[in-house]
Chain A
Amino acid sequence: MLKCQHLVEKADALVDGSPISLRERLALRLHLMMCHHCRRYVRQLRALLGFLPRDKQPLEEAAIEDILKKLDTPQDQP
């Protein structure tokens, strides 16, 4: 049977939807059915990813204007 350490190494694909072979997915699912430590690991890994700061605020108008202005001025050569 799949070892817990192996599951932890492969579980990333389960939480972020990366491609994974059907055979591997089944092996992971089977392990999870039988191992509550690994179930907890996967559940909390999901929670962790949900906790990461994600939404970047749009820039304010004045700052946008500053950037656009610099596009028009010729750049100093390095």
Chain B
Amino acid sequence: MADIQLEDPQFIEQLRQGDRAAFGKLVKGHHNMLLATARTLLSPADAEEAVQDAWIAAHRAIAKFEGRSLLRTWLTRIVINQAKMMIRKRGREVQFDPTNDPDALAHRFHGDGHWQHPPQHWELSSPDNLLTREELRHCMEKHLHFMPDSQRLVLELRDMQGLPAEDVCNMLEISASNVRVLLHRARARLFEMVDHFQETGEC
């Protein structure tokens, strides 16, 4: 897998020595992942700019990379910092407080904590359902768009890129329990959405 080669100590040493071809390999392997991260917080055009600036910053700092984290964690952190800077320039801020958005599944329980509306049975796996899967994917994108920025970002980092929870805490400078809650809220929103889709066929 390409990812493992990109974390290889020998490869990292080449980067630290300023090897241009190695840096090209790094860009090739990580650019679209970093772009996806930036897009969770920024418009597509701003995201492009943030990642471009992040490459410049990374190129300048790579000689000092000490390998105390994964290289891709280090890069992601640079992108997030660029994105935060850009958001501040636009006069906005990312809210990492998970309590300002309710749990999308909370209404499905009785006061005593038992299911009031248990989940539907989902028919996602049957191969003849390609059209439905396509519709579902669109619907998911729409819901991702309307999700609070902080939830979308944590979902991207944890579930789509598979970064360790500890790395996500560190790069966002939030507690482990806040990362857990944000991730749970994001998943709950999507679960609720797919369940609704299964029941009604509508997004």
Contact = CB atoms under 8 A, between A and B. Distances in A.
Quick one: which of B31, B165, B190 has the most chain A CB within 10 A?
B31
A4 to B, nearest CB: 5
Quick one: which of B20, B36, B114, B115 has the most chain A CB within 10 A?
B115
A47 B125 contact: yes
DSSP class of B's interface residues: helix, strand, loop or mixed? helix
Interface of B: 2, 20, 23-24, 27-29, 31-33, 35-36, 52, 55-56, 59, 103, 105-106, 109, 112-115, 118-119, 121-122, 124-125, 136-137, 140, 155, 158-162, 165, 180, 183-184, 187-188, 190-191, 194-195
B98 to A, nearest CB: 12
B191 A3 contact: no
27 contacts: A3-B112, A3-B114, A5-B113, A5-B114, A8-B105, A9-B103, A12-B183, A40-B121, A44-B194, A44-B195, A45-B187, A47-B122, A48-B194, A49-B187, A51-B124, A51-B136, A51-B137, A51-B194, A52-B160, A53-B160, A54-B162, A56-B33, A57-B32, A58-B32, A67-B52, A68-B24, A71-B56
What 3 A-B pairs come out closest when comparing CB atoms?
Answer: A3-B113, A37-B118, A56-B32
DSSP class of A's interface residues: helix, strand, loop or mixed? helix
Nearest to A13: B180
Nearest to B37: A56
Interface in A21-57: 37-38, 40-41, 44-45, 47-49, 51-54, 56-57
A70 B52 contact: yes
Contacts of B35: 56
B28 A44 contact: no
Interface of A: 3-6, 8-9, 12, 16, 18, 37-38, 40-41, 44-45, 47-49, 51-54, 56-59, 61, 63-65, 67-68, 70-71, 75
Contacts of A57: 32
B20 A16 contact: no
B114 A52 contact: no
A12 B105 contact: no
Given A47-B124, A75-B56, A59 B27 contact: yes
Contacts of B180: 12, 18
A54 B161 CA distance: 7
Contact of A4 (B2, B27, B113): B113
A44 B29 CA distance: 31
A70 B188 CA distance: 41
A35 B177 CA distance: 27
Given A16-B158, A44-B119, A44-B191, A64 B27 contact: yes
